[in-house]
Amino acid sequence: MAFRIRTEQRVEVPKWLPTATSIGSVIIAFILGGVIFKIVGGKPLQALSFFYQAVFGNWGVFSDTLVKATPLIIIGVACAVAFKMRLWNIGAEGQFYAGAFGASLVVLVPLVPLDSPKVLVIGMMMLMGMIFGGIWGFIPGYLKAKYKVNEIITTLMLNYIIINWNNFWIFDQWSDRGFQMTATFDRVAWLPRLADYAKEVKAFSGVTLHLGVIFGIIAAIIVWWIFRYSRWGYEIKLIGDNPNAARYAGIDISKNIILVMAFSGALAGLAGMSEISGVVHRLQESISPGYGFTGIIVAWLAKLNPFTIIPVSVLFAGLIVAGREIQPTGLSFLLQGIILFLLISSDVLIRYKIRLVRVDKETE
Amino acid sequence: MISDLFSMTVLVGILASGIRLATPYLYASIGETFSQRSGVLNLGVEGQMLLGAFAAFYVALTTENLWFGVLAAIVVGGLMGLAMAFVTINLHAEQGISGIGFYLFGLGLSDLLFQKMLGTVETVKGFPKVHIPVLSDIPVVGEIFFRQNVLVYIALALVPLAWFVLNKTTLGLKIRAVGENPEAADSLGVSVARIRYFTVVLGGIMSGVAGASLSIALLNVFQQNLTSGLGFIAVALVYFGAWRPWGVLAGALLFSLINSLQLWVQVLGIPIPSDIAVMMPYILTILVLVLTVSRVRPPSALTKSFERGD
């Protein structure tokens, strides 16, 4: 008697299955990561408790985690928009830096007088962040729509271009007394933080959570709405699922490639603005520990659902915060890699039924 | 000041170190050329390089044998290639996304292993320069080409070899067929999966060696994120070189010469902003892609997974 593994394409996917595979991937990744960590001489249980502290611990630490989750939420949503159309925007990292640069211009040029009301300065920084991030998404979008140049390569190249561009300004032009950073921005350019209200609410003292997290939540709501109710969202989904059908339906694919890339870039640019206005308060080198890449995994793990991106970002931010305590920080990247690997593997379970079937000798 | 650049010694120095700096690109990009020609975009090169670099460094340091180091990089790179092949060929994963996963995996694991197994930045005595008899005595040319370490010579030799295999052998024909029209290749009895497994594992091995060429021949150290983007550039170079080994060589030399020039500019204290100079090859890569678009076409099946209809 012989057995054979047979796979059949699923006609209908059970509603709970994608969620189950996502959660399962995370749990198995933690176990695998723990085993690897143990083998090389780390203390996985202690690491896990750091992680638990980061996500469920006291307010102070949890607020740190939310601060780290903020750019991930915005970038995750940005990636989800592009991925829905099967546009592989690998350049969120660069669009983030472009947004940070654009927002910094407002303060460093300055584009508005720095004694203007805070609303004006912050609003201007948001606008410039989104414009610069948007341009950094527009370029690969335009090149793909017009010349069919692969967006993965152009977005990658643009990452390096903007990082060097920023370094040029930070080192050569705006350097603060020779340090590799600009001078600290005037307080008018800082996003409001909970700590600013410590006088009114004592519990807020020292809590660094800033307004950027609201940007993330609003971005998620808007993108959810676009996909749920708007014609544009419908077009994006149709192009992603079946470009030929979209073409027959008279949808302008080139226009949408450009629009979606620019929109995705603008959101990632907003993340860059939020980070320098809410956390760093200056333009400096390495403002992102790979948010642009982690955001890709966040979007994928959340199955491109804008609301799911929020808790997934908190989870990954917890990894980043815990990584500071655990040392080396590499563990958090390792886990991200394993999670994505498992997630991709588990997609097979979603697409196919896997069965063990008995094979009769005669029919073989 | 600027005129300092044009003295003979400096020019020779720039060219010699430019060729040396091109080695990691060459290994990784030649391997990636094979993957892409067969239709697989392996974006995980950076992660494979990092693990290869660590493996080579660690083994070379503990066994004091550099070739064992290279062998370790081959094994580790090959395993990473195997995993990449499984994910893209059997699981039909989206290649751009899974590549980022492999990047983060390699970045994280190499850092973890480095911190736990070495702890501090150490140096290893890397591959020495080999003076090729007679040829190395030729003025200028000898110094530029024939006083390099052995991994440089191998890398340069791989370019014509890769060209030959891709264009003049049955294997090369199968690889190109699988990358252009997998359905037709399949109907002619070529196993698409087997060919792609071969090229992706080969790509992993070459990326591993690329890492080794950094950690035990060029820099002779290992540290966190040693490659800092070299692997991603290697992927772009395949596009730059229009999927041809000689084009890849040209691209690799362009990047490495600009890097080398920029290092010398800093050494000589010439006031050219190096960050701007470093941007140029990236901009040029995009320009080349746009300008050659009417003449050069990527392999038709690139990034498309192949499912055999029964």
- Of the candidates B269, B261, B267, the one whose C-alpha atom is nearest the C-alpha of residue B1 is B269
Q: Does B235 touch chain A (CB under 8 A)?
A: yes
Per-residue pLDDT of B171-181, as tens digits, reads 999 999 999 99
Cis check: omega of the bond before A328, within 30 degrees of 0: yes
Structure tokens of B47? 């992660």
Domain assignment of residue A211, given as a range: 75-298
Distance CA(A253)–CA(A233), nearest Å, equals 13
- Do residues B199 and B38 make contact, with C-beta atoms less than 8 angstroms apart? yes
Determine the distance from the C-alpha atom of residue A346 to the mean position of all C-alpha atoms in its chain, rounded to a whole number: 21
Domain segments of chain B: what residues?
Answer: 2-291
Amino acid at B203: G
Please say if the pLDDT value at position B309 is more than 70.
Answer: no
Which helix (H) or strand (E) covers residue A352, if one does?
A: strand A352-359
Distance CA(B29)–CA(B250), nearest Å, equals 11
DSSP A327: S
Identify the band that residue B55 occupies on the pLDDT scale cut at 50, 70 and 90. Answer: very high
- Do residues B135 and B7 make contact, with C-beta atoms less than 8 angstroms apart? no
Nearest-CA distance from A336 to chain B in Å?
7
**Cα dihedral A271, A277, A279, A282 in deg (nearest 10):** 110
Say if A207 falls within a structural domain. Answer: yes
Read off φ and ψ for residue B244, nearest 5 degrees: -120, 135
Amino acid at B27: Y
Q: Does B289 touch chain A (CB under 8 A)?
A: yes
- Give the pLDDT confidence score for residue A205 in this predicted structure: 78
- Give the pLDDT confidence score for residue A364 in this predicted structure: 43
- Give the pLDDT confidence score for residue A360 in this predicted structure: 61
- Do residues B64 and B240 make contact, with C-beta atoms less than 8 angstroms apart? no
For the domain with range B2-291, which CATH number is right: 1.20.58, 1.10.3470, 1.10.8, 2.30.30? 1.10.3470
Taking contacts as CB-CB distances below 8 angstroms, the residues of chain A near B232 are: 156, 160
- Lowest mean pLDDT: which of A125-134, A245-254, B118-127, B204-213? B118-127
Nearest-CA distance from B284 to chain A in Å?
10
Say if A353 falls within a structural domain. Answer: no
Identify the band that residue B138 occupies on the pLDDT scale cut at 50, 70 and 90. Answer: confident
- Of the candidates B17, B46, B14, the one whose C-alpha atom is nearest the C-alpha of residue B237 is B46
- B290/A90 Cβ within 8 A: no
Taking contacts as CB-CB distances below 8 angstroms, the residues of chain A near B278 are: 164
Place of tokens 């930070």: A170
- Lowest mean pLDDT: which of A131-140, B214-223, B250-259, B296-305? B296-305
- Of the candidates A40, A83, A165, the beta carbon closest to that of B279 is on A165
Per the DSSP assignment, residues forming a β-bridge with A284 are A181
- The helices-and-strands tally (H runs, E runs) of chain B is 12, 2
Distance CA(A151)–CA(A257), nearest Å, equals 10
- Of the candidates B267, B241, B243, B244, the one whose C-alpha atom is nearest the C-alpha of residue B255 is B241
**Cα dihedral A76, A78, A79, A81 in deg (nearest 10):** 120
- Of the candidates A113, A135, A137, the one whose C-alpha atom is nearest the C-alpha of residue A124 is A113
- A40/B113 Cβ within 8 A: yes
- Give the pLDDT confidence score for residue A311 in this predicted structure: 94
Taking contacts as CB-CB distances below 8 angstroms, the residues of chain A near B235 are: 153, 156
Burial of A325 by CB count in 10 Å (0-12 exposed, 13-18 middle, 19+ buried)? middle
Question: Quick one: average pLDDT of B17-24?
Answer: 92
- Give the pLDDT confidence score for residue B177 in this predicted structure: 94
Say if A222 falls within a structural domain. Answer: yes
Which helix (H) or strand (E) covers residue B30, if one does?
A: helix B8-37
Identify the band that residue B2 occupies on the pLDDT scale cut at 50, 70 and 90. Answer: low
- Give the mean pLDDT per block of 10 residues along chain A (364 residues): 70 81 89 88 83 79 91 97 94 97 93 90 96 98 94 93 92 80 89 86 83 96 96 94 92 96 98 95 89 93 93 90 75 88 82 71 48
Distance CA(B240)–CA(A153), nearest Å, equals 10
Place of tokens 């017009």: A146
Q: For chains A and B, what is the number of CB pairs under 8 angstroms?
A: 156
Distance CA(B240)–CA(B236), nearest Å, equals 6
Please say if the pLDDT value at position B292 is more than 90.
Answer: no
Domain count, chain A: 1
Nearest-CA distance from A144 to chain B in Å?
9
- A338/B105 Cβ within 8 A: yes
Distance CA(B253)–CA(B251), nearest Å, equals 5
- Do residues B196 and B39 make contact, with C-beta atoms less than 8 angstroms apart? yes
Which residue pairs, CB below 8 angstroms and at least 24 apart, start in B252-259?
Answer: B252/B22, B252/B25, B252/B26, B252/B29, B253/B18, B253/B19, B253/B22, B254/B281, B254/B284, B255/B22, B255/B25, B255/B281, B256/B18, B256/B19, B256/B20, B256/B21, B256/B22, B256/B25, B257/B14, B257/B15, B257/B18, B257/B22, B259/B18, B259/B21
Spell out where chain B has E strands.
129-131, 147-149
Give the three-state DSSP class for A289: coil
Say if A162 falls within a structural domain. Answer: yes
Distance CA(B49)–CA(B44), nearest Å, equals 9
- B286/A154 Cβ within 8 A: yes
Burial of A280 by CB count in 10 Å (0-12 exposed, 13-18 middle, 19+ buried)? middle
- DSSP line for A51-68: HHHHHHS-HHHHHHHHHH
Closest alpha carbon within chain A to B289:
A149
